[in-house]
Structure 1
């Protein structure tokens, strides 16, 4: 990578970091009006279950990069508010499976709606050409992140 390309990559990373902070503020507004707010860690658990419903507790622990007792406490709280169910695995009584409840799915749906509304307000102020460029850039970013995640999964399996 040329020094000019490295500098552009650094500038882009700084800009993305700044935008992330703005998005966190906008998303926070969406969570503030939530009927059952959850912590960022609890929200990550809900996202994992949305993608992999019925996954075991060990897998959630690995995805979060946390410890089993911490994840168990997160799940206790999510179960208490009705967002998660835990059941014993049919293959092993010692293994717990986690399931997103209808209430948990509804919470995520409502949360995303509020977040998208906040983002829409800002994006609507952009000129159409810039919105199209943003969409193209975000799509490319998402694809690159997925590739990096896939590579990380492959790397961790070979380690």
Structure 2
């Protein structure tokens, strides 16, 4: 029986699923220190607000892919916890702007920095000769998913590129 050519799509999907398990575990551990402050879903909300620099309830709900009432309940809890501020528009009082408070921003930065450190520890254990190919593959995957490149997001949000982080990244 001739050797069957490996199904690279299936192999890639399997490898990405394995990688996602690693990243989910890193994410869960990074949230452990703030689990009494926010849930995973609430943290995702904080990250979206961090990335947008503020937004409306409708836009937040769309970004989270939830209905407006679900987003409203989430925002209520985050406002009550002092992590999000809410203010009405100057010209249209029905328009409500949502933004992270300093405390909310600190939660995002603290959790993200912890993730960055743990991921860096894992990357340092990878063979150096495979890192460039891994970066290219992950970038291609992110591009296919239409996800902005991390360096671009960091530069926009915090004015620094990947490498020497002082603030944490999304």
Q: Is the 1:85–1:100 Cα contact (8 Å) retained in structure 2?
A: yes
Aligned to 2:111: 111
2: distance between equivalents of 1:81 and 1:147? 30
| Displacement after TM superposition at 1:98 (Å) | 0.4
2: distance between equivalents of 1:36 and 1:143? 35
Q: What secondary structure does 1:92 align onto?
A: coil
| Displacement after TM superposition at 1:128 (Å) | 0.5
2: distance between equivalents of 1:112 and 1:58? 26
Aligned to 1:29: 29
More helix by share: 1
CA RMSD of aligned residues (A): 2.3
1: distance between equivalents of 2:83 and 2:5? 45
Q: Structure 1, residues 58-106: CA drift from partner, whole Å, max 9, x if none?
A: 1111111212221111111111222100111223212211011111111
Distance 1:101 1:36, change over 3 A: farther
Q: What secondary structure does 1:146 align onto?
A: coil
Aligned to 2:129: 129
2: distance between equivalents of 1:34 and 1:44? 13
Report how many aligned residue pairs link the two structures.
145
| Displacement after TM superposition at 1:55 (Å) | 1.1
Matches within 5 A, 1:43-122: 43-122=43-122
Structure 1 outlier segments of 4+, above 4 Å:
none
